[in-house]
Structure 1
């Protein structure tokens, strides 16, 4: 066998491995980015023990945030300078159970609705990763499982909000 044929044969055998490694890396990067984007809000919902809890009544909304009256549980006095991120789920005049982010004037919804809403970036990344896994890696079962998990999280969040 000539050295030229041996080199092309080696390249041909490494190409599928390199393609699979690249696609696996892209899928992993998508999921990690989804977790990273979700964790900023989800940590306050999941690890809320010891944080300040209360109820917020939305009085007005700007382009990015809504403000309102925050009524904490227990002895502290109500405050009117608290903000919550604006989304389709936040409406003027509505009351929400919230937890205060430490050392800020920002609150996050609690309960199932708040928890599912916090994990929305992960849901989107799972759907996208399912496409990469199915199309790039040709792992159809894993792709369906990943995409279905992301879709279920999206639907559950929609129904909870």
Structure 2
């Protein structure tokens, strides 16, 4: 028995909607990650140094900044508070241009910057596998997202 053309249109519309949802998830995850990751990946010409964390509140931690090369004097530098940033720790950081905000560098900082993309890959895997019925691609996205999150957890 032949399918009606209206049935095919509904299937194609559903597939297009699911593909759009998966794409929006991945783009949002990448964009969220890029806000921090760009300072780590494109760090040439930026101020590098170490941050000795001396005080933390609910959102940020502050401390004394020691630059690697001569740079403008900075009394205090801030870094977003996370599980890995604790009072008394010393972190390798790069400063965001024109601010006193620091971003952690090295493997741990690089992996931590991409955590939103890892979560987006896991969510998109559900949409790809369940909505689009592309199980191999869904497993690939889920494994990539899970590996990124696991590596970030272990590195921190």
TM-score normalised according to structure 1 size: 0.92
Aligned counterpart in structure 1 of residue 44 of structure 2, from 49, 60, 65: 49
Residues 29-68 of structure 1: pairs in structure 2 closer than 5 A: 29-68=24-63
Distance in structure 1 (CA, Å) of the matches to 2:128 and 2:83: 31
Deviation at 1:89, TM superposition (A): 0.8
Deviation at 1:30, TM superposition (A): 0.2
Runs of 4 or more, structure 1, over 6 Å off, are: none
Mark the runs of 5 or more structure 1 residues left unpaired by the alignment: 1-7
Distance in structure 2 (CA, Å) of the matches to 1:75 and 1:147: 44
Aligned counterpart in structure 2 of residue 143 of structure 1, from 117, 138, 141: 138
Aligned counterpart in structure 2 of residue 93 of structure 1, from 60, 85, 88: 88
From the superposition, tell whether residues 12 and 86 of structure 1 become closer, same or farther in structure 2 (CA, over 3 Å).
Answer: same
Distance in structure 2 (CA, Å) of the matches to 1:76 and 1:20: 54
Partner of 1:15: 10
2:45 aligned counterpart, secondary structure: coil
Distance in structure 2 (CA, Å) of the matches to 1:20 and 1:146: 18
Aligned length: 154
Deviation at 1:78, TM superposition (A): 5.9
From the superposition, tell whether residues 36 and 77 of structure 1 become closer, same or farther in structure 2 (CA, over 3 Å).
Answer: closer
Q: Structure 1, residues 113-157: CA drift from partner, whole Å, max 9, x if none? A: 111000000000000000000010010000000011000000000
1:24 aligned counterpart, secondary structure: helix
Partner of 2:152: 157
Aligned counterpart in structure 2 of residue 74 of structure 1, from 58, 69, 88: 69
TM-score normalised according to structure 2 size: 0.95
Distance in structure 1 (CA, Å) of the matches to 2:141 and 2:72: 46
1:23 aligned counterpart, secondary structure: helix
Mark the runs of 5 or more structure 2 residues left unpaired by the alignment: none
RMSD: 1.2
2:130 aligned counterpart, secondary structure: helix
